[in-house]
Amino acid sequence: MKKLFYVYMIFFILISLSISEINAKEKQSIINRVIKPFAANTALGTLFSLHGKDEYAAIAVVFTCNHCPFANLYTDRLNAFYQEYLPKGVLLIAINPMDSILYEDETLINMKTKALKDNFLFPYLQDADQSIAKAFSADFTPQVYLLQKRHSSWKIVYKGIIDDNGKSPEIARKYLKEAADSLLLQRPIKDSIIESFGCKIIYRH
Amino acid sequence: MKSIFFLFSCLCSAFLSAQTYNPLWIPDTLSGSNITLTIKDTFAQLRATGNQTITGGINNSQFWGPTIFINKGDTVHMNVLNKLNDSTTIHWHGMHLPAVMDGGPHQVIPPGTLWQPYWKVTNNAATYWYHPHLHEMTLEHLTKGIGGFIIVNDQEESALALPRKYGIDDIPLMLTSRRYNTANQFVVQNVAYGDYLLVNGTRDPEITLPKQIVRLRLLNAEVERAYNFGFSDNRKFYIIANDGGLLDKPVQVSKLLVAVGERYEILVDLSNDNVGSSINLMSYNANQPFGFPGGEPAAQGNFGSLLNNKDFNCLRINIGKSTNSPITSIPTSLISNQFINSAEATVNRSINVKGGVPGNPTPFNFNDKIFDINRIDNTVNLNAIEKWTITNSNVFGHTFHIHDVQFKLVARNGNTNAVGLHEQGWKDVLYLPRNENASFIAKFDDYADPIHPFMYHCHFSNHEDGGMMGQFVVNNPSSIIDNMPDESQYTLFPNPASDVIFMENKGVEIYYITIVNSVGKSVMMLPQPEIHKGISIAHLPKGMYYMQIMDAATKTTITKQFSK
């Protein structure tokens, strides 16, 4: 009985160690990762390219989608962020990484309907082959990355949540704003990786 | 030291008396011969403070779906639309139906696809449930809260004076628990036990029940934990039904062990309680024998939990006024079950629990074979009566569930007298403590299918996902193999079609139809469709479609094109 208890405990310790190791590894592999310029169609039929966006100090890349009810809670907050931070030199773009062949709700035409209905102020890109999401190692919608231009390449400086309360923005801690403010003030971002969650991005193999 | 202890006790009791409860959520109901279940991603406020939790809902629910009411003898048509962005399945747990309608790991519903199984209900009145069963994803999808109750009614049950006012004196209780990470999200990996109880998705639930005899339908929908139910005042209560039907007569107990996947219906007499008083439905899980799921002493880690090895409250019951025409007495007898005689079994099978030994990488499995979706483990002849003996000379307790049939437990450890009085009815799940074996007999009638198997597995979803599952086909040795059909035997009309498309099939029996859109994505799955009624395609967008038609005799697929 006791022996088995010890076996359970050792299991637990080993797994806890491996979890903290994973977190450290994720931080190492994500933060400062260089994102090569990408281009993609937007819901409104234009082409968005990361090339030549030199006028911005940072770009907030939000992975979101049409169907996810939790992601949908953030529409107003994303519009507000876009309006508040664009004059400060931070551009917000949204990218839909969902497999639109498998999941019809996520097609470009449905993205257009949504962008118009919800009055998206920001570009809403379709990641048709999921290559952009793969380059970021995006896991969920909503999930946000902050990119900063350093030595002429865009590097990830924040990965995580927009804020920590989907339904009650008034009591939420605003992690994305905190990261953007730190960046604009040229201070280090204290919490550069925040555990995010939402609707899982299923990658086509 | 003593005074500190006293102070601590006072503080604890003050804290306990200040405990706040939340109204128990009672799932919405669906009934009739056409049932629509739309499975979707959603979120719910499951913790008292902080962020919402990503969950899976059905129709308008956020965690756990509506209760389906169906009648024995009716044919029920299910319309299961998967709006998750992930494939899943829905298994009708406990139902006797064709394997191709069963919703096991072979009936994968891709995202955006409508799956339309149907069957004639032959099950007895009892409490069943539906839940996802996609191999290696069952734990994750169940954890999200996808599932719901199925309540079958029949004439024998309806003739009895039993509480059946749903949500008033007849209460479905789905018990499970969850572990949360710091962001209030479910932890799925390496978690056998949750830390926080959810009853129908409600934390710290309370309900007001009338001062009369009430019926509770208990379902253990945990990953591993068993519940040893009882009431805070140790009152006696009466078991009237288990998994597959009513018992012959109520069984009086003061404790009831309900293992994962099992259902028990109990009657509780509240007629002598004062209006305004309260009792707790408890689980007395402290100091259980080693191997009891949830008895491990650790408070954290893979096999630990804040609820482990503890007695804990499951439901606060407040006593309210009695209803009009209340049930006032416990019936002395219920129904006369006609069970199969042990001696009639012509085949004996042995299933042995293997693997799962700490330190050994081989997961729990049966007979040293990890589940392989392409391997049929057993072939059972149609109408055979078989005796299966499941032996667990292993490190831990398990629950064993078999699809297709309701079985009669006939012996524990070879001893016919060791089967509990409460286990005497029809069952589809049995609890198998460590170092024990259990034997059941079952008749495999009605539905033969040489290619679509039924499953048997440990109902601990982490064990099942890990490979503690086998599959059997029911074979009809007298079936005749026909010639393969060719394309000319099927004609679709009208083509183009608008709301309904019909098929002329020249007497070929259809086994399966899948409708695929122009980009190759499946949009409808119709097992054994009632083709003479046509196929409703009203909900499909305009476009070109392919109908993949598989015949019953040769299982040959032929593709026809149509437009809408």
SS3 track for A15-48: HHHHHHHHHHHHHHHHCCCEECCCEEEECCCCEE
Q: Which residue of B has its CA nearest to A8?
A: B303
Residue B303 has its nearest CB partner, among A8, A65, A106, at A8
Same domain membership, residue B370 and residue B285: no
Q: How confident is the model at residue A11 (pLDDT cuts 50, 70, 90)?
A: very low
Mean pLDDT of chain B: 94
Mean predicted confidence (pLDDT) in B225-238: 98
For the stretch B485-537, pLDDT in tens is: 788 889 999 999 999 999 998 888 999 999 999 888 899 999 999 999 999 99
Q: State the CB neighbour count (10 A cutoff) for residue A13.
A: 11
Q: What is the pLDDT of residue B221?
A: 98
**Sheet with B500-504, edge to edge strand ranges:** B491-493, B500-504, B535-536
Same domain membership, residue B285 and residue B393: no
d(CA A9, CA B181) in angstroms, rounded, equals 20
- Structure token pair of residue B52: 């919402």
Of B268, B301, B333, the residue that ends a domain is B333
Q: Using a CB-CB distance cutoff of 8 angstroms, which residues of chain B are in contact with residue A101? A: 519-521
Q: Using a CB-CB distance cutoff of 8 angstroms, which residues of chain B are in contact with residue A163? A: none
Chain B interface disruption, residue of A2, A8, A72, most B CBs within 10 A: A8
Chain B positions with Cβ closer than 8 Å to A? 40-43, 45, 50-52, 54, 83, 85-86, 110-112, 181-183, 185, 190, 290, 296-298, 300-304, 358-359, 395, 519-521
Q: Using a CB-CB distance cutoff of 8 angstroms, which residues of chain B are in contact with residue A103? A: 85, 111-112
Q: What is the pLDDT of residue A174?
A: 97
d(CA B528, CA B473) in angstroms, rounded, equals 17
Chain A interface disruption, residue of B40, B41, B308, B435, most A CBs within 10 A: B41
A8 with B45: Cβ contact below 8 A: no
Contact yes or no for B370/B457 (Cβ under 8 A): no
Write the CA distances from B109 to A107, B18, B131, integer angstroms.
20, 47, 13
Q: What is the pLDDT of residue A10?
A: 47
Cβ-Cβ contacts under 8 Å between A and B: the total is: 96
Complex ipTM over 0.90: no
Same domain membership, residue B310 and residue B186: yes
Q: What is the pLDDT of residue B18?
A: 62
Contact yes or no for B47/B2 (Cβ under 8 A): no
Q: Using a CB-CB distance cutoff of 8 angstroms, which residues of chain A are in contact with residue B52? A: 70, 165-167
Question: Chain-centre distance of CA B235, in angstroms?
Answer: 28
Q: State the CB neighbour count (10 A cutoff) for residue B62.
A: 21
Does B56 reside within a domain?
Answer: no
Same domain membership, residue B433 and residue B511: no
Contact yes or no for B353/B366 (Cβ under 8 A): yes
Q: How confident is the model at residue B27 (pLDDT cuts 50, 70, 90)?
A: very high
Does B53 or B189 have the greater pLDDT score?
A: B53
Write the CA distances from A119 to A59, A76, A80, A137, B112, integer angstroms.
20, 9, 12, 28, 26
Mean predicted confidence (pLDDT) in A196-200: 94
Question: Within a 13 Å sphere around the CA of A118, how many CA atoms are in the beta-carbon half?
Answer: 25
Contact yes or no for B382/A30 (Cβ under 8 A): no
Q: How confident is the model at residue A22 (pLDDT cuts 50, 70, 90)?
A: low
Q: How many domains does chain B have?
A: 3
**Residue whose C-alpha is closest to residue A142's, from A60, A33, A20:** A60
Same domain membership, residue B209 and residue B298: yes
| Terminal alpha carbon distance of chain B | 82
Q: How confident is the model at residue A12 (pLDDT cuts 50, 70, 90)?
A: very low
Of B413, B443, B475, the residue that ends a domain is B475
Same domain membership, residue B468 and residue B349: yes
DSSP secondary structure of B79-136: EEEE-SSS-B--EEET----GGGS-STTS-B-TT-EE--EEE--PPSEEEEEE---TT
Same domain membership, residue B318 and residue B199: yes
Mean predicted confidence (pLDDT) in B297-321: 96
Does B27 reside within a domain?
Answer: no
Does B99 reside within a domain?
Answer: no
Same domain membership, residue B173 and residue B266: yes
Contact yes or no for A48/A93 (Cβ under 8 A): yes
For the stretch B362-392, pLDDT in tens is: 999 999 999 999 999 999 999 999 999 999 9
B85 with A98: Cβ contact below 8 A: yes
Q: Using a CB-CB distance cutoff of 8 angstroms, which residues of chain B are in contact with residue A6? A: none
Chain A interface disruption, residue of B46, B47, B51, B84, most A CBs within 10 A: B51
Q: Which residue of A has its CA nearest to B86?
A: A202
Q: How confident is the model at residue B17 (pLDDT cuts 50, 70, 90)?
A: low
**Residue whose C-alpha is closest to residue B405's, from B425, B426, B432:** B426
Same domain membership, residue B346 and residue B244: no
**Residue whose C-alpha is closest to residue B214's, from B263, B252, B163:** B163
Beta strands in B170-244 (DSSP E): 170-178, 196-199, 205-210, 213-220, 227-231, 237-242
Q: Which residue of B has its CA nearest to A164?
A: B51
* Percent of chain A whose pLDDT exceeds 90: 79
The range of the structural domain enclosing residue B190 comes to: 160-333
* Percent of chain B whose pLDDT exceeds 90: 88
Q: Using a CB-CB distance cutoff of 8 angstroms, which residues of chain A are in contact with residue B298? A: 5, 8-9, 12
- Block residue for tokens 């040769």: B554
Does B106 reside within a domain?
Answer: no
Helix (H, G, I), strand (E, B) or coil at B520: coil
B43 with A104: Cβ contact below 8 A: no
Write the CA distances from A40 to A55, A127, B362, integer angstroms.
19, 7, 46
Q: Using a CB-CB distance cutoff of 8 angstroms, which residues of chain B are in contact with residue A164? A: 50-51, 183
B521 with A101: Cβ contact below 8 A: yes
- Block residue for tokens 């954890």: B143
Mean predicted confidence (pLDDT) in B88-104: 97
Write the CA distances from B212 to A187, B325, B356, integer angstroms.
67, 10, 47
Q: Using a CB-CB distance cutoff of 8 angstroms, which residues of chain B are in contact with residue A141? A: none
- Structure token pair of residue B352: 């042995």
Does B213 reside within a domain?
Answer: yes
Same domain membership, residue B404 and residue B541: no
Q: Using a CB-CB distance cutoff of 8 angstroms, which residues of chain A are in contact with residue B303? A: 8, 11-12
Q: What is the pLDDT of residue B487?
A: 83
B302 with A164: Cβ contact below 8 A: no
Does B38 reside within a domain?
Answer: no
B42 with A69: Cβ contact below 8 A: yes
Helix (H, G, I), strand (E, B) or coil at B415: strand
**Residue whose C-alpha is closest to residue B67's, from B32, B95, B27:** B27
Q: Using a CB-CB distance cutoff of 8 angstroms, which residues of chain B are in contact with residue A16? A: 301
Residue B296 has its nearest CB partner, among A8, A198, A199, at A8
B181 with A195: Cβ contact below 8 A: yes
The yes-or-no verdict on residue A14 having pLDDT over 60 is no
Does B13 reside within a domain?
Answer: no
Mean predicted confidence (pLDDT) in A158-187: 97
A167 with B52: Cβ contact below 8 A: yes
Helix (H, G, I), strand (E, B) or coil at B43: strand
Does B462 reside within a domain?
Answer: yes
Domain at B206, CATH number = 2.60.40.420
Q: Which residue of B has its CA nearest to A73?
A: B43
Among the listed ranges A11-15, B175-179, B214-218, which one has the minimum average pLDDT value? Answer: A11-15
d(CA B110, CA B329) in angstroms, rounded, equals 49
Beta strands in B324-480 (DSSP E): 347-354, 365-366, 378-381, 384-392, 398-402, 407-412, 426-427, 429-432, 436-444, 449-458, 469-475
* Percent of chain B whose pLDDT exceeds 70: 96
Q: What is the pLDDT of residue A5?
A: 47
Among the listed ranges A125-139, B199-213, B239-253, B479-493, which one has the minimum average pLDDT value? Answer: B479-493
Question: Chain-centre distance of CA A55, in angstroms?
Answer: 21
Helix (H, G, I), strand (E, B) or coil at B172: strand
Residue B112 has its nearest CB partner, among A11, A103, A167, at A103
**Residue whose C-alpha is closest to residue A96's, from A129, A118, A119:** A129
Mean predicted confidence (pLDDT) in A66-91: 97
A11 with B45: Cβ contact below 8 A: no
Same domain membership, residue B328 and residue B194: yes
Helix (H, G, I), strand (E, B) or coil at B377: coil
Q: Which residue of A has its CA nearest to B303?
A: A8
Q: What is the pLDDT of residue A20?
A: 52
Q: Using a CB-CB distance cutoff of 8 angstroms, which residues of chain B are in contact with residue A105? A: 83, 112
What are the backbone angles phi and psi of residue B109, rounded to the nearest 5°? Answer: -105, 110
Q: Using a CB-CB distance cutoff of 8 angstroms, which residues of chain B are in contact with residue A202? A: 85-86
Same domain membership, residue B445 and residue B359: yes
Of B316, B333, B350, the residue that ends a domain is B333
